[in-house]
Structure formats: C-alpha cells, structure tokens
Structure 1
Amino acid sequence: MIRILLADDQPLVRAGLRTVLASDPELEVVAEAADGRAALTAAERCRPDVALLDIRMPGMDGLTAAESLRTGHPALRVMIITTFDEDRYIARALDAGVHGFLLKSGDPYELIAGIKAAMNGGTVLAPAVAHRIVRVLHGGELRDRLAARTGVQSLTPRERDVLALLGEGLSNAGIARRLHLAEGTVKIHVSAVLNKLGLTSRVQAAIYAYRAGLAG
C-alpha cells in the first residue's frame, strides 16, 4: 500500500483528488493538509510514502514545503500537482529535487501511474511540462542535435518509439497504452534506451528525443 499525504487549500480539489486516488486499491490517502506548514506537520505524524502538494497555498506554499520535505525526509517521494506550469515554478520544483510535476488538468490515470512511477524511483513530468522544459533548452548547439540524431541510430525501431514518447513526457503506463505493450515490457525498453544513450533520467531522455527530432 502506498501511503499518500495530500496538500491543497481547496477542500473540493482535495475531495476530487481523494476520489481519484481511492479508485486504486494500492493507494491510500493517510493525511490531508490545507497549507504547507500543516503538510510538514502531517508528514512528521503520519510518515507517508508520497507527498502530493499544490503550489499556491496560504502561509507556506507548496514549493517551500517541498524543499523542506526533501531535506527532512529524504526517502519521501515529493510530487507537485498544480494548475500552473510557468517556467519559474517548474525550475524551482526541479531544483528542489521533486519526483514529479503534474497538472490538475491531466488524465486521472496519469496521476495514479505517476505516483507509482515515482515510488519506483522515476521522475514524472506532465507532457505540457516536459514540452516547456524542452522549449527552454531549445537554444542548444547544432552539434548536440547532430549527436542526438546519430545516437538514435543505435536504437531498435521500438526503442525509438519509446524514446519519442518519453519526449512527450508520458509515463511507462502511458507509453504502454500508446504502443499496446505490457508495462513491464516498456520498463525494459526505457532502461535499454537510457543505457544505450548514456542517459540517467527520463528528463534527459525527453531532451534527447527533442534534439534527435523525435519529439517537438
């Protein structure tokens, strides 16, 4: 069972998220908070596996709470879920070492899959967030693009398909649905892609896919 701390200042939003999470028997909301300070207290009291934090909350905001949680609870998987995908929020969240940045407008299934991916050591980005990061990094040199286009030649056609979907910010579950594969098979392909290209994260893979012309 994955124990979840849910922090959002809007009761209706918390209720909606709680309903989505309750649809999966492997997930359990063990604590709720309406601001960042309450989230820190709840984390101390309940010791959740995952903290799901909104950004804009009264008092201590979600990003400040995320930074404190990452420092005080290294094993806790901290994820941001918000309506905002502005660059300054994304950059600060990634600098804080969060394990996910998801949008409330996304597919509920992607939220559940994202939590499970984070528990397995992944970093999960909503597709819109992944695209924004790639656009910010668009100023890379032509040499990087040429190297990426050469590098993908070492991949099998299926691995290139997987890399392209990593470029869209999809989770393993999302890739599995798109390619009609078992999620375990996708996990094997993702590992092969990262190993062959010398990458260490899904974010690096998304950037590589863009440079190689597989994602836009």
Structure 2
Amino acid sequence: MAAADDPIRVLLCDDAEGFRALMRISLAEDPAIEIVGEAADGEAGVEATAELQPDVVLLDMSMPRMGGLQAIPKMRRRAPRTSIIGLSSLSAARMAAPSKQIGAHAYLEKGTELAQIRAAIHAAAER
C-alpha cells in the first residue's frame, strides 16, 4: 500500500477505451491518485496487476478474454496487497455480493458520481 505521502497507484481495467480515458482524465484531478497502467481485457488486467502491483484496481466485470469474476481471484493471488474495486454497468444488486465474496474490496455501478469513485479508491488504499 502507498505510504502517507505517496500517491495511490491505480490500474484501470476496462474494455471501453472511452471509459478508460474518462477515468484517466477525471481521476488525474486528484493529486493523491496516480494511474499506473491500463488493460483492455481480463487477462491483460491480471498480468498488469501482477507486474505493476498497484494499490487499487478499478475492474470492469464484463470484459473479453476473462470477466471480472474470473479475474479477481487471479489478481488476489498474484498481488495480495492490491485492493480491487468492481466498476461495471452490471447492477450492484446482482454483482456486489459475488465480487466481494471472491476478494473485491468494493463494487460500484458505472454512473456512480466521481466523488464516490475517488472516495472508494481512497478507502480501498487504506485497508
């Protein structure tokens, strides 16, 4: 996890380039957050998590090559100190409990206000 003065290192995993760009630009407004990498599918997300050892992964649950429910346990094994936040268009009512049961720290629906996403990143980095 990041030291008190270090930025929170975040990996963005989403197959939608436009969404990754939006998150990259929006999260850059918070000086305590640093985007350290991006992945466009689940397999690349697992590999990037292992390589980069980010503090937090923002993970789309529905991606090609490996969905979030398959990626979370692999990410947890390869980067046990990394917190994972599911961030997807799939409903929280359907996905929050299963994603948390296998190791996600939190689950947010796409469309959640940016302030809440930032707060979730900060909370996940502190765990």
Give the structure-2-normalised TM-score. 0.89
Match of 1:43?
A: 49
1:68 and 1:45 map into 2 onto residues whose CA distance is 13
Q: Which residue of 2 aligns with 1:98?
A: 104
Counterpart residue identity of residue 72, structure 2? A
Structure 2 Cα separation of the partners of residues 67 and 89 of structure 1 = 15
Unaligned runs of 5+ in 2: 1-6
> What amino acid maps onto 2:46 in structure 1?
L
Hey, which bits of structure 1, 4+ residues long, moved more than 4 A? Answer: none
Cα-to-partner distance string for 1:53-108 (whole Å, 9 max, x where unaligned): 00110110122111211222211111100111154422310211211101111110
> C-alpha distance in 2, partners of 1:110/1:87?
17
Specify the SS of the correspondent of 1:106. Answer: coil
- State how 1:125-140 maps to structure 2 within 5 Å: none
CA contact (8 A) 2:92 2:109 kept: no
For residue 68 of structure 2, what is the aligned residue in structure 1? 62
Q: TM-score when scaled to structure 1?
A: 0.54
Larger Rg belongs to: 1
Letter of the 1:15 counterpart: A
Q: Aligned partners of 2:20, 2:69: CA distance in 1, in Å? A: 18
Number of residue pairs matched? 121
- 1:94, 1:43 → 2: CA distance? 18
Structure holding more strand per residue: 2
Q: How does 1:119-198 map to 2 (within 5 A)?
A: 119-121=125-127
Identity of aligned residues (%): 38
Question: Match of 1:36, as an amino acid?
Answer: G
Greater helix percent: which structure? 1
RMSD of aligned Cα (Å) = 1.2
Q: 5 Å matches for 1:194-213?
A: none
